[in-house]
């Protein structure tokens, strides 16, 4: 079970500021990375990079600001499960769209 | 710690203060945080919605007595079947077992004073009332005719009925079931009594837990889908409208992402109740406890992977159809495991045929048929022929009514003595259980044949050669209707004239039978400490079995 | 369950805020925390439905999405991201000081959090107004009505792929407040580089003449703006609810309610606030930045 | 569904893959019985053998068996995989359209099916096909979702606005089979259907070259009105019908949108069928499709006669206004298309 009384000893103000710094740098990096055309690597590389940064930032916020890092397994599990279920929704919907013969004549 | 012999052995000597007698004002009910009172208010509301849905059902069956659309106009018929579906699914089946039986029993079964979040529980009841009131209001204003599935673009562009109001009602109601699910998960995690380990939980609690997972993960998606539908209908931005770039099939994906798992919201709790009934009334430890428990979780998880089998002919890609067909076949396995384990539990038991057990056995028969016909509908080549026919109608009624409703009735009979402290008439209970079973099969059995013959669902008029089977079905429906009405009468009758039931009329080991009937507001006089395994019918359970046997011996032994 | 004590018989200290159904504070904290996380899981699924719609339409009409995205103001969006991150920091620190029982810092930090939250909403309001003024609200009739004046009407008739992104935005007449779209430059670009998807070949062009059909393209961009407004609108709604929670928290903190023994309300509100921040962390690149690289 | 038995159990098998669907169905029924009988028998046997002998007894405790659990997990899994394979094979046959197919185009509309053969013949709510030929249906809809379902051929598919969907079949048996709309589409969903006529090639050729009729004009008109053209789906049905009421209108004044009124004579009725939007009756939307090119002059005469009969006027005299000189020339239109393009120009 989580031990909330010890929890705040894991984080202190310098650590909070460090995480904050990472988040700010991530934001600025996303902005500038989006202005560079990375399509020469493969189409959609920009989006992948942007999502990569976004997931890193999310991980920072969840692990340290939301104290998941020191939380019981159940909290880890629910955080991961929600992303897993999103993945189910995305992948099983898209497997239809990516394999559908278009047949669209007017839209 | 707890003298288990003192309670749970006989009829209370003097009336103690229980949850029903603890305050008689309207305020003491409407502002209660007691999970048992909230469950009773759910019971009353859910029953009213069930009756309203039942009236629509009888109109449907009467209209289909003749091939022509003559009893009601086609427009009315379309509204009737839509509203039958909406009331039964969103306002009866989904809250039925979780919000009534789950609410009442889950805390008692794990030895807690209440659910973890009682105010959230009351809030969920109010949200349910608001959503229900809005829906009823919309139905009285003129109703809705889109089918309960709200397929676009009919619901966004062509229907000129009260789609918005009903959609809003369902949107609001969704949060009620989210909050109930949330509350159950928290309660099971944190509120178990000392000694109540995960594998000592009754299987009803496991089933509720699995159901709650589905509620939390699925219901928000239907909320957002209905919201998009409402926006699209009001302001025409085109997300579901192909003429300006949208895709109507996206709606079906999002709708079924929730609505297929919702089928498991509607049947998993029923499986939980039946696990209780089968084990307790054969007085035998359930066979393969872990397998039944984990198959509930497996159903909840795999249930999210198969929604595309509702869309085999919708224009979804052929590849996606095959993937969904494959996964549908896989999800059949956990249900089969449960079925085998229930049957094995009966082996070498001591089976009594009280009313709840009759419902439990009825469930096994009907759910067997419902589950097997599910395989028919998962086999993609066959389903092309069967989609949107009465075969589908018959299948999901076997699962929904033959599964959940039968289990719900069984559960109500089983725990009625606990909830009210009164015993109903066993004779009438048995009669009604048998009427329901016979009437049900007569109603929906012929519909399998009708479906294979190609009769499409949602038809107000149909080809004449199909009339004979429809007459059988309507005849069965009237038997079913009588069977369903009888419990209302004898259960209400028992409230006033019923014999006091005693705290543990069947000498069962579950925690709910170790407190008084009806239970006190905080469920137990003292916090129970669990020292026995689940479904322990021997002396290890600490119950005074010998004393109970001696009390009944002169009158029961022939 | 380890968290239960067996000494029920004894009188035990009733902590402030302990509700009757719990045995002790620890059980209550655990319950509230799990409950909050379950709530966040359902929130993620709630937004997940919208992300699915986004994914489906973006994969179908990437150029329409890129074009629509380029007309969002990435500066305002980026600024808002920073504002939210700062508010997340102040929120995290509020929890930190609540655990220390430092009333003054709690009050200051909650006020700061609310301030940054309001700045975020203010910036959103500026952006929404901008969209309203330029005919980019996806609902016909909900945009600013600009009367057609003599000599002005040829503005709208300009070939839609010759857009100079550095030129000042010209107001096109919009007498009925329709959704307006004139910039098809990305379609031209994608056509030249052979980027177009099959759906786009059907969806942007007049099948008879083979020319870009500005109206058909506009419809696809409108779907982008619809998703933009629903997503950011729901996010803003969550921010407003968050501000309400902050107000409640401010009152509690003012009364010096929180201490090392009782700070769950702050912790839970913090979880909510960070969740809203996380949603924006994804919305910013997915809505504001996705077509930026085509402009260079 | 022409079975003569009292209660039909199977629809007629009338396409090349119908037997495959039926075989899969039979396989599943066998499996169902193979599961149901032992389980139900076991339940009954246990229920009787182990019925309560003494109240509150404590029967011998039994523990679960891993072996049993594994066996009864794997057997259903293997069986369900065979079902999946069977389903996939049948599905493949249902949706792999052969190359040498005869084309028929289908447009769904609330609440009628408009069909056109590759050779130009148009039909409404009826489909005539030759026996033994591969027929490919290319389908779409003008409004909401519909579903083109022919139970005797064991195939169906939704028709989706803005897209084409396809089914194919090869009819094996001449006859008349039901055609249904199986996706709910609004008010007259259950009336949206008709028949598929499977004919010998010779009869089909005859049918292509002109329709024979032994009916009186009123009967022929009634047939057209109720079945072939589907007029009844809007112009009959009572208070909620979408089209103007036709009973008793003949030779009466009709108020039009815009305030004028006209006398509903033969010319008016004929014009309303061919150019419905030119004279719309007050209180109705101009939603009726034109039937120009789909009805021959002969059929027009029959229709006018039938609508007159609704007002109690008998006699089949046709006024000169209603019968132009070219009265008997068949006007099959070969212009494919208008109907096949859903309204996408509402920008």
What's the first-to-final CA gap in chain A, in angstroms?
Answer: 55
Q: Which domain holds residue B132?
A: 26-269+380-398+416-556
Say yes or no for a CB contact (<8 Å) between C33 and A93: no
Say yes or no for a CB contact (<8 Å) between A102 and C199: yes
Tokens of C43: 């929130």
Spatial separation of the C-alpha atoms in residues B132 and B117, rounded to whole Å: 23
Does residue A106 sit within a domain?
Answer: no
Spatial separation of the C-alpha atoms in residues B1 and B5, rounded to whole Å: 12
Tokens of B471: 């007459």
State the pLDDT confidence band at D342, using cuts at 50, 70 and 90. very low
Bridge partners (DSSP) listed for residue D117: D104
- Whether D321 has a pLDDT exceeding 70, the answer reads no
Tokens of B531: 């020292």
Find the radius of gyration of the CA atoms of chain C.
25
Per-range mean pLDDT, top range of B194-203, D53-62, D204-213, D310-319: B194-203
CA B236 vs. chain centroid, Å, equals 37
Q: Is D175 on the interface with B (CB under 8 A)?
A: no
Q: How many domains does chain A have?
A: 1
Tell me how close the Cα of D96 comes to any Cα of chain A, in angstroms: 13
**Residue B325, SS3?**
helix
Say yes or no for a CB contact (<8 Å) between C38 and B182: yes
Cβ-based contacts of D347 with chain C (< 8 Å): 215-216, 218-219
Spatial separation of the C-alpha atoms in residues B128 and B123, rounded to whole Å: 9
Say yes or no for a CB contact (<8 Å) between D186 and B465: no
Conformation bin of residue D56: beta by default, left when phi > 0, alpha when psi is -120 to 50? left
pLDDT given at position C151: 53
Q: How many other CB atoms are there within 10 angstroms of residue B441's CB atom?
A: 19
Tokens of B135: 């829906």
State the pLDDT confidence band at C167, using cuts at 50, 70 and 90. low
Tell me how close the Cα of D163 comes to any Cα of chain C, in angstroms: 11
Spatial separation of the C-alpha atoms in residues C66 and C197, rounded to whole Å: 13
How confident is the model over C280-284, as a mean pLDDT? Answer: 95
pLDDT given at position A102: 54
DSSP state of D282: T
pLDDT given at position D95: 86
State the pLDDT confidence band at D347, using cuts at 50, 70 and 90. very low
How confident is the model over D296-303, as a mean pLDDT? Answer: 73
Q: Which residue of D has its CA nearest to C199?
A: D163
For B329, the closest of D62, D84, D90 (CB atoms) is D84
Does residue B317 sit within a domain?
Answer: no
Q: Which residue's entry shows tokens 């929730």?
A: B258
Q: How many domains does chain B have?
A: 1
Tokens of C98: 């609540």
Q: How many other CB atoms are there within 10 angstroms of residue B97's CB atom?
A: 31
Choose from C206, C215, C223 for mutation: most chain D CBs within 10 A: C215
**Residue B352, SS3?**
coil
**Residue D71, SS3?**
helix
Strands D126-130 and D134-141, how do they pair? Answer: unpaired
Q: Is B316 on the interface with D (CB under 8 A)?
A: no
Which regions of D58-199 does DSSP assign to beta strands (E)?
102-109, 112-117, 122-124, 126-130, 134-141, 146-150, 155-159, 165-170, 175-181, 193-199
Spatial separation of the C-alpha atoms in residues A60 and B379, rounded to whole Å: 46
Tokens of D224: 């057209």
Q: Are B216 and B121 in contact (CB under 8 A)?
A: no
Instruction: Show which of residues 74-103 on chain A sit within 8 Å of chain D, judged by CB atoms.
Output: 103
The ranges assigned to domains in chain C are 25-182+221-295
Q: Which of B55, B63, B52 is nearest to B458 (CA)?
A: B63
Q: Is D283 on the interface with B (CB under 8 A)?
A: no
CA atoms within 13 A on the CB side of B290: 8
Which regions of B398-479 does DSSP assign to beta strands (E)?
422-423
pLDDT tens figures, D228-287: 787 887 887 666 677 787 887 877 888 877 777 777 877 777 778 877 777 778 777 777
Q: Could you list the pLDDT tens digit for every one of the 558 residues in chain B?
A: 334 444 444 444 455 688 988 888 999 999 999 999 999 999 999 999 999 999 999 999 999 999 988 889 999 999 999 999 999 999 999 999 999 999 999 999 999 999 999 999 999 999 999 999 999 999 999 899 999 999 988 999 888 889 999 999 999 999 999 999 999 999 999 999 999 999 999 999 999 999 999 999 999 999 999 999 999 999 888 899 888 888 899 999 999 999 999 999 999 999 999 999 999 999 999 999 999 999 999 999 999 999 999 999 998 888 899 999 999 999 989 999 999 999 999 998 999 999 999 999 999 999 999 999 999 999 999 999 999 999 999 999 999 999 999 999 999 999 999 999 999 999 999 999 999 999 999 999 999 999 999 999 999 999 988 999 999 999 999 999 999 999 999 999 999 999 998 889 998 999 999 999 899 998 998 889 998 888 988 888 888 888 888 887 665 444
Tell me how close the Cα of C143 comes to any Cα of chain B, in angstroms: 13
Q: What is the dihedral of CA C37, C40, C42, C47, to 10 degrees?
A: -160
Does residue B364 sit within a domain?
Answer: no
Residue A24 burial (10 A CB sphere; 0-12, 13-18, 19+): middle
The CATH number assigned to the domain holding B527 equals 1.20.210.10
Q: Are A92 and B308 in contact (CB under 8 A)?
A: yes
pLDDT given at position A11: 81
Spatial separation of the C-alpha atoms in residues C137 and C133, rounded to whole Å: 9
Q: What does pTM read for this prediction? A: 0.86
pLDDT given at position C1: 37
Q: Which CATH code is given to the segment(s) D8-53+62-210?
A: 2.60.40.420
- Whether D215 has a pLDDT exceeding 80, the answer reads no
Q: Which domain holds residue A16?
A: 4-99
Strands D146-150 and D155-159, how do they pair? Answer: antiparallel
Does residue B108 sit within a domain?
Answer: yes
Spatial separation of the C-alpha atoms in residues C228 and C224, rounded to whole Å: 6
Element (H, E) at D253: strand D253-255
Spatial separation of the C-alpha atoms in residues D55 and A72, rounded to whole Å: 47
pLDDT given at position D304: 78
Say yes or no for a CB contact (<8 Å) between A88 and B305: yes
Q: Collect all residues with Cβ–Cβ distance below 8 Å to B78 and sequence separation of at least 6.
A: B145, B458, B460, D184, D186, D187, D189
Chains that touch C (3 or more CB pairs under 8 A): A, B, D
Q: Which of D269, D246, D168, D180 is nearest to D1 (CA)?
A: D180
Cβ-based contacts of A74 with chain B (< 8 Å): 189
- Whether C124 has a pLDDT exceeding 90, the answer reads yes
How confident is the model over C66-90, as a mean pLDDT? Answer: 93
Spatial separation of the C-alpha atoms in residues D13 and C236, rounded to whole Å: 59
Spatial separation of the C-alpha atoms in residues B161 and B138, rounded to whole Å: 9
Spatial separation of the C-alpha atoms in residues B534 and B287, rounded to whole Å: 11
pLDDT given at position D182: 94
How confident is the model over C124-140, as a mean pLDDT? Answer: 91
pLDDT tens figures, D263-275: 787 777 777 887 7
Q: Diameter of chain A by CA atoms?
A: 63
Spatial separation of the C-alpha atoms in residues A64 and B127, rounded to whole Å: 35
pLDDT given at position D339: 36
- Whether A72 has a pLDDT exceeding 70, the answer reads yes
Mean pLDDT of chain D: 80
Which regions of B396-448 does DSSP assign to beta strands (E)?
422-423
Domain with CATH 1.10.760.10 in chain D: 217-332
| Angle at alpha carbon of residue B285, lines to B279 and B290, rounded to 5° | 100
Note the CATH architecture for domain C25-182+221-295. Answer: Up-down Bundle (1.20)
Does residue A58 sit within a domain?
Answer: yes
Q: Is D240 on the interface with B (CB under 8 A)?
A: yes
Instruction: Show which of residues 37-76 on chain A sit within 8 Å of chain B, judged by CB atoms.
Output: 74
pLDDT given at position B22: 85
Q: Is D53 on the interface with C (CB under 8 A)?
A: no
Give percent above pLDDT 70 in chain A: 85
Say yes or no for a CB contact (<8 Å) between B116 and C31: yes
Cβ-based contacts of A105 with chain C (< 8 Å): 202, 207
Q: Are C148 and C173 in contact (CB under 8 A)?
A: yes
Q: Is D16 on the interface with B (CB under 8 A)?
A: no
Note the CATH architecture for domain D217-332. Answer: Orthogonal Bundle (1.10)
Cβ-based contacts of C216 with chain D (< 8 Å): 347
Does residue A14 sit within a domain?
Answer: yes
Q: What is the dihedral of CA B261, B264, B266, B269, to 10 degrees?
A: -140
Bridge partners (DSSP) listed for residue D147: D158
- Whether D343 has a pLDDT exceeding 80, the answer reads no
Q: Are B111 and B528 in contact (CB under 8 A)?
A: yes
């Amino acid at each position: 079970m989580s031990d909330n009384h010890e929890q705040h000893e894991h984080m202190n103000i310098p650590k909070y500021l460090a995480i904050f710094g990472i988040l700010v740098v991530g934001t600025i990096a996303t902005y500038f990375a989006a202005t560079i055309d990375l399509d020469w690597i493969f189409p959609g590389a920009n989006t992948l990079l942007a999502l990569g940064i976004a997931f890193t930032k999310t991980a920072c916020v969840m692990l340290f600001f939301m104290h998941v890092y020191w939380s019981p397994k159940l909290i880890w599990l629910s955080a991961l499960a929600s992303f897993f279920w999103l993945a189910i929704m995305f992948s099983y919907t898209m497997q239809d769209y990516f394999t559908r013969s278009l047949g669209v004549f007017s839209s | 710690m707890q003298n288990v012999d003192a309670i749970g052995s006989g009829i209370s000597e003097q009336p103690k203060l229980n949850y029903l007698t603890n305050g008689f004002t309207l305020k003491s009910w409407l502002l209660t945080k007691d999970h048992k009172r909230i469950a009773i208010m759910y019971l009353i509301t859910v029953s009213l919605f069930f009756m309203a849905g039942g009236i629509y059902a009888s109109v449907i069956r009467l209209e289909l007595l003749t091939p022509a659309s003559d009893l009601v106009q086609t427009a009315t018929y379309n509204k009737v079947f839509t509203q039958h579906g909406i009331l039964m699914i969103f306002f009866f089946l989904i809250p039925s077992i979780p919000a009534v039986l789950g609410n009442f029993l889950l805390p008692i079964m794990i030895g807690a004073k209440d659910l973890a979040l009682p105010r959230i529980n009351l809030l969920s009841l109010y949200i349910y009332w608001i959503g229900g009131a809005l829906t009823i209001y919309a139905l009285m204003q003129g109703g809705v005719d889109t089918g309960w599935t709200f397929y676009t673009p009919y619901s966004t562009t062509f229907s000129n009925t009260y789609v918005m109001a009903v959609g809003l009602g369902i949107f609001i109601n969704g949060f009620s079931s989210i909050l109930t699910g949330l509350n159950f998960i928290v309660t099971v995690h944190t509120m178990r009594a000392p000694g109540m380990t995960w594998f000592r939980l009754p299987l009803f609690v496991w089933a509720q837990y699995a159901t709650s997972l589905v509620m939390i993960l699925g219901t928000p998606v239907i909320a957002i889908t209905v919201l998009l539908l409402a926006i699209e209908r009001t302001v025409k931005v085109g997300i579901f409208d192909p003429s300006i770039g949208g895709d109507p099939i996206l709606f079906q994906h999002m709708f079924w992402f929730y609505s297929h798992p919702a089928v498991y919201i509607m049947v998993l709790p029923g499986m939980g109740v039946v696990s209780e009934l089968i084990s307790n009334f054969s007085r035998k430890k359930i066979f393969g406890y872990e397998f039944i428990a984990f198959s509930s979780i497996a159903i909840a998880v795999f249930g999210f992977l198969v929604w595309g089998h509702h869309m085999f002919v919708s224009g979804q890609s052929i590849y996606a159809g095959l993937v969904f067909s494959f996964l549908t076949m896989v999800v059949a396995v956990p249900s089969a495991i449960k079925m085998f384990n229930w049957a094995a539990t009966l082996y070498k038991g001591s089976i009594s045929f009280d009313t709840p057990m009759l419902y439990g056995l009825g469930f096994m028969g009907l759910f067997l048929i419902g589950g097997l016909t599910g395989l028919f509908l998962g086999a993609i080549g066959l389903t092309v022929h069967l989609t949107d026919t009465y075969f589908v109608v018959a299948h999901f009624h076997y699962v929904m009514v033959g599964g959940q409703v039968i289990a719900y009735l069984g559960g109500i009979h089983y725990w009625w003595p606990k909830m009210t402290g009164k015993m109903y008439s066993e004779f009438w209970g048995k009669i009604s259980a048998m009427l329901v079973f016979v009437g049900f099969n007569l109603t929906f059995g012929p519909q399998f044949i009708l479906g294979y013959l190609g009769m499409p669902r949602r038809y107000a008029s149909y080809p004449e050669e199909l009339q004979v089977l429809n007459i059988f079905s309507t005849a069965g429906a009237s038997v079913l209707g009588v069977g369903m009405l009888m419990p209302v009468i004898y259960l209400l009758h028992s409230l006033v004239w019923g014999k006091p039931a005693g705290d543990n009329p069947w000498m069962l080991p579950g925690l709910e039978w170790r407190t008084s009937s009806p239970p006190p507001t905080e469920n137990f006089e003292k916090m129970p400490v669990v020292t026995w395994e689940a479904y322990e019918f021997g002396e290890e359970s600490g119950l005074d079995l010998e004393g109970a046997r001696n009390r009944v011996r002169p009158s029961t032994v022939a | 369950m380890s968290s239960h004590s067996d000494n029920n018989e004894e009188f035990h200290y009733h902590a402030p805020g302990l509700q009757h159904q719990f045995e002790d504070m620890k059980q209550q904290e655990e319950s509230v925390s799990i409950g909050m996380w379950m709530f966040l899981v359902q929130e993620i699924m709630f937004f997940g439905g919208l992300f699915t719609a986004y994914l489906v339409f973006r994969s179908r009409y990437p150029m329409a999405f890129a074009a629509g995205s380029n007309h969002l103001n990435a500066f305002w969006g980026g600024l808002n991201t920073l504002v939210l991150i700062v508010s997340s920091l102040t929120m995290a620190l509020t929890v930190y000081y609540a655990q220390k029982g430092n009333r003054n810092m709690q009050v200051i930090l909650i006020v700061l959090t609310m301030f940054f939250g309001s700045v975020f909403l203010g910036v959103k309001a500026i952006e929404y107004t901008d969209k309203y003024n330029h005919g980019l609200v996806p609902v016909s009739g909900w945009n600013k009505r600009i009367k057609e004046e003599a000599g002005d009407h040829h503005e709208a008739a300009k070939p839609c792929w010759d857009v100079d992104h550095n030129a000042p935005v010209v107001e096109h007449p919009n007498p009925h407040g329709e959704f307006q779209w004139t910039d098809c430059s990305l379609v031209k670009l994608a056509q030249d580089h052979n980027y177009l998807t099959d759906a786009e070949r059907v969806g942007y062009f007049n099948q008879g003449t083979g020319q870009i059909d500005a109206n058909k393209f506009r419809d696809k961009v409108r779907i982008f703006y619809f998703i933009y407004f629903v997503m950011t609108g729901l996010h803003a709604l969550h921010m407003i609810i968050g501000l309400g929670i902050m107000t409640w928290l401010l009152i509690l903190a003012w009364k010096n309610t929180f201490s090392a023994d009782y700070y769950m309300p702050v912790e839970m509100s913090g979880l909510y606030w960070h969740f809203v921040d996380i949603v924006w962390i994804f919305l910013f690149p997915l809505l504001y930045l996705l077509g930026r690289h085509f402009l260079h | 569904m022409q079975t003569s038995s009292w209660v039909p159990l199977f629809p007629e098998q009338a396409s090349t893959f119908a037997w495959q669907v039926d075989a899969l169905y039979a396989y599943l029924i066998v499996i169902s019985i193979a599961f149901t009988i032992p389980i139900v028998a076991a339940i009954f046997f246990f229920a009787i053998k182990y019925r309560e002998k003494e109240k509150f007894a404590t029967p011998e405790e039994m523990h679960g068996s891993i072996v049993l659990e594994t066996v009864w997990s794997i057997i259903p899994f293997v069986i369900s995989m065979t079902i999946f394979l069977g389903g996939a094979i049948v599905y493949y046959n249902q949706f792999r359209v052969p190359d040498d197919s005869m084309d028929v185009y289908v447009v769904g509309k609330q609440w009628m099916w408009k069909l056109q053969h590759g050779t130009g013949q148009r039909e409404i709510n009826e489909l005539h096909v030759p026996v033994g030929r591969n027929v490919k249906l290319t389908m779409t809809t003008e409004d909401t979702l519909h579903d083109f379902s022919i139970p005797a051929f064991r195939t169906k598919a939704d028709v989706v606005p803005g897209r084409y969907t396809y089914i194919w079949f090869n009819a094996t048996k001449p006859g008349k089979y039901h055609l249904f709309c199986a996706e709910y589409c609004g008010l007259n969903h259950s009336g949206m259907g008709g028949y598929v006529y499977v004919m010998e090639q010779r009869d089909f050729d005859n049918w292509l070259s002109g329709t024979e009729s032994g009916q009186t004009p009123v009967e022929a008109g009634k047939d057209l009105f109720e079945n072939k053209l589907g007029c009844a789906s809007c112009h009959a049905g009572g208070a909620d019908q979408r089209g103007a009421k036709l009973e008793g209108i003949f030779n009466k004044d009709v108020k039009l949108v815009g305030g004028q009124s006209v006398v509903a004579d033969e010319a008016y009725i004929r014009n309303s069928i061919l150019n419905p939007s030119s004279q719309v009756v007050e209180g109705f939307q101009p939603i009726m499709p034109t039937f120009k090119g789909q009805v021959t002059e002969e059929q027009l005469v029959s229709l006018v006669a039938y609508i007159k009969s609704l007002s109690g006027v008998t006699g089949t005299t046709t006024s000169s206004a209603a019968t132009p000189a070219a009265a008997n020339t068949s006007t099959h239109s070969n212009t494919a298309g208008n109907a096949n393009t859903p309204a996408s120009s509402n920008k």
